Copies of this chain bind each other. A is one copy, B any other.
Amino acid sequence: MSKQRLIIDMDDVMADTGGAIIDLYNKHFKTSYQKSDLLEQDIWNEELKANYVDELRSKLHEPGFFRNLSVMTGAKEVIKELHEKYDLFVVSAAMEFPNSLKEKSEWLDEHFPYIHWKNRVLCGDKSIIKGDIMIDDHDKNLSVFKGQCLLFHAMHNHKLEWYQRVKSWKDVAVELL
């Protein structure tokens, strides 16, 4: 029997993009939020801080942002095992950020060198992707996927209720290994 195809997202699933954004926010506003602080409060809603969104967005376009992201806790160990069991593809909606394209390739080379370039996809709209299982943190990606969906826990999705949620890579291991 051929392996099931497993589609894994990068930002906020493999890479700690949210953590890097909070670091930028803290630096700008001289605050000291942690990701866990932000599940029940939306720091972006206040008018003063909303003015920062454009500046923050421009930082995501700057060279280096995506190249230097940390790996999410547990991702290295669990993805290594998933790679043995599944036909594993990394699929990132990266086309909005042209500087990120090569950086994401280099980031994967550094942290996940065993994921072949043939198994990497950089796209815009994930409705073009087919597979058996998708791990993603966004409703817009999971809602257009025809297979099994696992919602990777993130501060921007903590109110979403209609997907099976995985809180960590440990949860993913329990579910898929």
List chain A positions with a Cβ less than 8 A from chain B.
Answer: 5, 7, 89, 91, 95-96, 98-99, 101-102, 105-106, 116-125, 128-131
Contact = CB atoms under 8 A, between A and B. Distances in A.
Report the copy number of this chain in the oligomer: 2
Given A128-B91, A128-B131, A130-B129, A121 B123 contact: yes
B105 A102 contact: no
25 contacts: A5-B128, A7-B128, A89-B128, A95-B105, A95-B117, A95-B120, A95-B122, A98-B105, A98-B106, A99-B102, A101-B101, A101-B102, A101-B122, A102-B102, A116-B124, A117-B124, A118-B124, A121-B123, A121-B124, A121-B128, A122-B122, A123-B123, A128-B129, A128-B130, A129-B129
